[in-house]
Amino acid sequence: MTEHEKAVAAGEGVKWAWPSVHPEGRKFALVSAAVVGALAFIGWTFLAWLFVGLTIWILAFFRDPVRSVPQGDDLVVSPADGMVTLIQTVMPPKEIAGEGGLAEEPMVRVSVFMSVFDVHINRSPIAGTVRKIEYIAGKFLNADLDKASEDNERQHFLVERNDGVKIGFTQIAGLVARRIVPFSKVGDVVTAGERVGLIRFGSRVDVYLPKGTAPKVALGQRCIAGETILGVIGDGSSAVAISQ
Protein backbone atom coordinates (compact mmCIF):
# COMPACT_ATOMS: atom_id res chain seq x y z
CA MET A 1 0.00 0.00 0.00
CA THR A 2 1.42 3.40 -1.01
CA GLU A 3 1.65 6.36 1.38
CA HIS A 4 -1.20 7.95 -0.62
CA GLU A 5 -3.42 4.89 -0.08
CA LYS A 6 -2.50 4.69 3.62
CA ALA A 7 -3.46 8.34 4.12
CA VAL A 8 -6.80 7.86 2.37
CA ALA A 9 -7.57 4.70 4.36
CA ALA A 10 -6.75 6.52 7.61
CA GLY A 11 -8.99 9.45 6.69
CA GLU A 12 -6.06 11.85 6.89
CA GLY A 13 -6.49 13.41 3.46
CA VAL A 14 -3.61 13.56 1.02
CA LYS A 15 -0.79 15.94 0.15
CA TRP A 16 0.93 16.59 -3.14
CA ALA A 17 3.99 14.41 -3.63
CA TRP A 18 6.49 13.83 -6.41
CA PRO A 19 5.21 10.99 -8.62
CA SER A 20 7.34 7.88 -8.87
CA VAL A 21 9.23 7.04 -12.07
CA HIS A 22 8.20 3.87 -13.87
CA PRO A 23 10.99 1.23 -14.07
CA GLU A 24 10.79 1.36 -17.88
CA GLY A 25 12.19 4.88 -17.75
CA ARG A 26 14.85 4.46 -15.09
CA LYS A 27 17.33 2.80 -17.45
CA PHE A 28 17.08 5.74 -19.87
CA ALA A 29 17.60 8.21 -17.02
CA LEU A 30 20.63 6.27 -15.77
CA VAL A 31 22.21 6.28 -19.24
CA SER A 32 21.60 10.02 -19.60
CA ALA A 33 22.98 10.67 -16.11
CA ALA A 34 26.09 8.61 -16.96
CA VAL A 35 26.62 10.77 -20.05
CA VAL A 36 26.35 13.86 -17.82
CA GLY A 37 29.11 12.48 -15.61
CA ALA A 38 31.34 11.62 -18.56
CA LEU A 39 30.92 15.03 -20.19
CA ALA A 40 31.56 16.83 -16.91
CA PHE A 41 34.68 14.73 -16.34
CA ILE A 42 36.21 15.71 -19.68
CA GLY A 43 35.25 19.34 -19.20
CA TRP A 44 32.45 19.66 -21.77
CA THR A 45 30.31 21.64 -19.37
CA PHE A 46 27.81 23.04 -21.88
CA LEU A 47 26.93 19.60 -23.25
CA ALA A 48 26.79 18.22 -19.71
CA TRP A 49 24.11 20.74 -18.80
CA LEU A 50 22.14 19.82 -21.91
CA PHE A 51 22.12 16.21 -20.77
CA VAL A 52 21.09 17.30 -17.27
CA GLY A 53 17.99 18.80 -18.91
CA LEU A 54 17.46 15.61 -20.91
CA THR A 55 17.70 13.50 -17.75
CA ILE A 56 15.09 15.63 -16.01
CA TRP A 57 12.79 15.40 -19.05
CA ILE A 58 13.14 11.60 -19.14
CA LEU A 59 12.22 11.35 -15.45
CA ALA A 60 9.21 13.59 -16.06
CA PHE A 61 8.12 11.66 -19.16
CA PHE A 62 8.09 8.32 -17.33
CA ARG A 63 6.39 9.66 -14.21
CA ASP A 64 3.76 7.32 -12.82
CA PRO A 65 1.39 9.27 -10.55
CA VAL A 66 -1.21 7.69 -8.28
CA ARG A 67 -4.73 8.07 -9.64
CA SER A 68 -8.08 8.02 -7.80
CA VAL A 69 -10.30 5.84 -9.99
CA PRO A 70 -14.07 6.51 -9.79
CA GLN A 71 -15.96 3.36 -8.88
CA GLY A 72 -19.06 2.16 -10.74
CA ASP A 73 -19.78 -0.98 -12.75
CA ASP A 74 -20.86 0.96 -15.84
CA LEU A 75 -18.18 3.65 -15.88
CA VAL A 76 -15.67 3.77 -18.73
CA VAL A 77 -12.60 5.72 -17.63
CA SER A 78 -9.99 7.25 -19.89
CA PRO A 79 -7.04 4.95 -20.58
CA ALA A 80 -4.74 7.91 -21.28
CA ASP A 81 -3.79 11.41 -20.24
CA GLY A 82 -4.20 13.95 -23.00
CA MET A 83 -6.65 15.83 -25.18
CA VAL A 84 -9.77 14.46 -26.87
CA THR A 85 -8.97 15.16 -30.53
CA LEU A 86 -11.52 12.96 -32.33
CA ILE A 87 -14.99 11.62 -31.59
CA GLN A 88 -16.26 9.59 -34.53
CA THR A 89 -18.64 6.76 -35.38
CA VAL A 90 -16.59 4.07 -37.12
CA MET A 91 -16.32 0.33 -37.59
CA PRO A 92 -14.17 -1.32 -34.90
CA PRO A 93 -10.75 -2.76 -35.82
CA LYS A 94 -11.07 -6.18 -37.46
CA GLU A 95 -8.40 -7.54 -35.10
CA ILE A 96 -10.75 -7.27 -32.10
CA ALA A 97 -14.13 -7.52 -33.84
CA GLY A 98 -16.25 -10.45 -34.90
CA GLU A 99 -16.56 -13.80 -33.14
CA GLY A 100 -15.57 -13.40 -29.50
CA GLY A 101 -14.85 -9.71 -29.96
CA LEU A 102 -16.61 -6.40 -30.54
CA ALA A 103 -19.80 -6.30 -32.57
CA GLU A 104 -19.19 -5.76 -36.30
CA GLU A 105 -21.21 -2.57 -36.43
CA PRO A 106 -20.47 1.16 -36.18
CA MET A 107 -19.28 2.27 -32.73
CA VAL A 108 -18.34 5.60 -31.18
CA ARG A 109 -14.57 5.99 -31.07
CA VAL A 110 -13.03 8.50 -28.66
CA SER A 111 -9.40 9.39 -29.42
CA VAL A 112 -7.15 10.82 -26.70
CA PHE A 113 -3.90 12.37 -27.96
CA MET A 114 -0.86 12.33 -25.68
CA SER A 115 1.82 14.95 -26.22
CA VAL A 116 5.39 14.35 -25.08
CA PHE A 117 4.54 16.31 -21.93
CA ASP A 118 1.69 14.01 -20.83
CA VAL A 119 1.91 10.96 -18.59
CA HIS A 120 2.28 7.97 -20.93
CA ILE A 121 1.19 5.15 -18.64
CA ASN A 122 -2.03 3.68 -20.09
CA ARG A 123 -4.78 2.15 -17.97
CA SER A 124 -7.72 -0.19 -18.49
CA PRO A 125 -11.01 1.68 -19.07
CA ILE A 126 -13.06 -1.03 -17.30
CA ALA A 127 -12.64 -3.99 -14.97
CA GLY A 128 -12.61 -7.39 -16.62
CA THR A 129 -10.51 -10.06 -18.31
CA VAL A 130 -8.06 -9.28 -21.10
CA ARG A 131 -9.36 -11.43 -23.99
CA LYS A 132 -7.16 -10.22 -26.85
CA ILE A 133 -3.98 -8.24 -27.40
CA GLU A 134 -3.04 -7.74 -31.04
CA TYR A 135 0.13 -5.90 -32.05
CA ILE A 136 0.28 -4.45 -35.58
CA ALA A 137 3.50 -3.10 -37.08
CA GLY A 138 3.01 0.07 -39.12
CA LYS A 139 4.01 3.61 -39.92
CA PHE A 140 4.76 6.52 -37.60
CA LEU A 141 2.42 9.22 -38.90
CA ASN A 142 1.20 12.10 -36.77
CA ALA A 143 -1.06 10.40 -34.19
CA ASP A 144 -3.48 13.34 -34.48
CA LEU A 145 -4.50 12.18 -37.97
CA ASP A 146 -7.60 10.04 -38.44
CA LYS A 147 -5.74 7.54 -40.65
CA ALA A 148 -3.25 6.85 -37.85
CA SER A 149 -5.82 4.37 -36.50
CA GLU A 150 -5.33 2.19 -39.59
CA ASP A 151 -1.76 3.01 -40.72
CA ASN A 152 0.40 3.47 -37.61
CA GLU A 153 2.10 0.95 -35.38
CA ARG A 154 -0.55 0.01 -32.85
CA GLN A 155 -1.69 -2.49 -30.25
CA HIS A 156 -5.32 -3.49 -29.73
CA PHE A 157 -6.76 -4.57 -26.38
CA LEU A 158 -10.09 -6.29 -25.78
CA VAL A 159 -11.35 -6.41 -22.18
CA GLU A 160 -14.51 -8.31 -21.23
CA ARG A 161 -16.54 -7.69 -18.08
CA ASN A 162 -18.05 -10.54 -16.07
CA ASP A 163 -21.45 -9.88 -17.69
CA GLY A 164 -20.03 -10.20 -21.21
CA VAL A 165 -19.84 -6.49 -22.08
CA LYS A 166 -16.63 -5.80 -24.03
CA ILE A 167 -14.54 -2.68 -24.47
CA GLY A 168 -11.85 -2.33 -27.11
CA PHE A 169 -9.06 0.21 -27.03
CA THR A 170 -5.96 0.78 -29.13
CA GLN A 171 -2.52 2.19 -28.32
CA ILE A 172 -1.22 4.03 -31.38
CA ALA A 173 2.38 5.12 -31.92
CA GLY A 174 2.98 8.60 -33.34
CA LEU A 175 5.67 10.69 -35.01
CA VAL A 176 8.11 10.37 -32.13
CA ALA A 177 6.86 7.17 -30.48
CA ARG A 178 8.90 4.12 -31.42
CA ARG A 179 7.79 1.43 -29.02
CA ILE A 180 4.56 0.23 -27.42
CA VAL A 181 5.24 -1.56 -24.12
CA PRO A 182 2.52 -3.89 -22.73
CA PHE A 183 2.25 -4.66 -19.01
CA SER A 184 -0.66 -7.10 -19.34
CA LYS A 185 -1.19 -10.35 -21.20
CA VAL A 186 -4.19 -12.30 -22.47
CA GLY A 187 -6.06 -13.90 -19.57
CA ASP A 188 -5.10 -11.27 -17.01
CA VAL A 189 -7.90 -9.96 -14.80
CA VAL A 190 -7.62 -6.17 -14.55
CA THR A 191 -9.41 -3.54 -12.53
CA ALA A 192 -10.68 -0.26 -13.95
CA GLY A 193 -7.78 2.17 -14.04
CA GLU A 194 -5.14 -0.55 -13.71
CA ARG A 195 -1.89 0.08 -15.60
CA VAL A 196 -1.77 -2.03 -18.78
CA GLY A 197 1.06 -0.46 -20.82
CA LEU A 198 2.81 2.65 -22.08
CA ILE A 199 3.88 4.21 -25.36
CA ARG A 200 7.21 5.96 -25.90
CA PHE A 201 7.22 9.06 -26.78
CA GLY A 202 4.02 10.92 -27.85
CA SER A 203 1.04 9.02 -29.17
CA ARG A 204 -2.69 8.32 -28.96
CA VAL A 205 -5.23 5.89 -27.51
CA ASP A 206 -8.59 5.09 -29.16
CA VAL A 207 -11.50 3.75 -27.11
CA TYR A 208 -14.51 2.03 -28.70
CA LEU A 209 -17.69 2.58 -26.69
CA PRO A 210 -20.41 -0.13 -26.71
CA LYS A 211 -23.65 0.39 -28.62
CA GLY A 212 -26.01 2.78 -26.83
CA THR A 213 -23.17 4.49 -24.95
CA ALA A 214 -22.51 8.15 -25.75
CA PRO A 215 -19.30 9.99 -24.87
CA LYS A 216 -19.28 12.07 -21.71
CA VAL A 217 -16.32 14.11 -22.96
CA ALA A 218 -16.06 16.79 -25.64
CA LEU A 219 -13.54 17.66 -28.32
CA GLY A 220 -10.65 19.61 -26.85
CA GLN A 221 -11.27 18.35 -23.32
CA ARG A 222 -8.29 17.24 -21.25
CA CYS A 223 -8.46 13.70 -19.87
CA ILE A 224 -6.69 12.08 -16.94
CA ALA A 225 -6.02 8.36 -17.25
CA GLY A 226 -7.98 6.33 -14.73
CA GLU A 227 -9.99 9.35 -13.55
CA THR A 228 -11.87 11.04 -16.40
CA ILE A 229 -15.15 9.29 -17.26
CA LEU A 230 -15.41 8.80 -21.03
CA GLY A 231 -18.87 7.24 -20.91
CA VAL A 232 -21.42 5.31 -18.89
CA ILE A 233 -22.35 2.00 -20.48
CA GLY A 234 -25.96 2.13 -21.67
CA ASP A 235 -26.27 5.90 -21.22
CA GLY A 236 -26.92 7.48 -24.63
CA SER A 237 -26.90 11.13 -23.53
CA SER A 238 -23.84 13.00 -24.82
CA ALA A 239 -21.89 15.62 -22.92
CA VAL A 240 -22.29 19.27 -23.87
CA ALA A 241 -19.29 21.57 -23.51
CA ILE A 242 -18.39 25.19 -24.28
CA SER A 243 -14.83 26.22 -25.14
CA GLN A 244 -13.82 29.34 -23.22
**Residue 115 annotated among the catalytic residues of the structure:** no
How many Å apart are CA 241 and CA 58, to the nearest integer?
34
The Cα-based distances of 64 to 89, 120, 195 in angstroms read 32, 8, 10
Cβ neighbours of residue 82 closer than 8 Å, sequence gap 6 or more: 112, 113, 114, 115, 118, 204, 205, 222, 223
Residues 180, 135 contacting (CB under 8 angstroms): yes
How many Å apart are CA 205 and CA 112, to the nearest integer?
5
Q: What are phi and psi of 122, to 5 degrees?
A: -100, 150
Chain centroid offset of residue 172 CA:
10
Which residue among the candidates 68, 78, 203, 243 is catalytic per the annotation? 203
Instruction: Identify the sign of the CA torsion 222, 64, 125, 235.
Output: negative
Single-letter residue type at 20: S
State the catalytic residues: 203
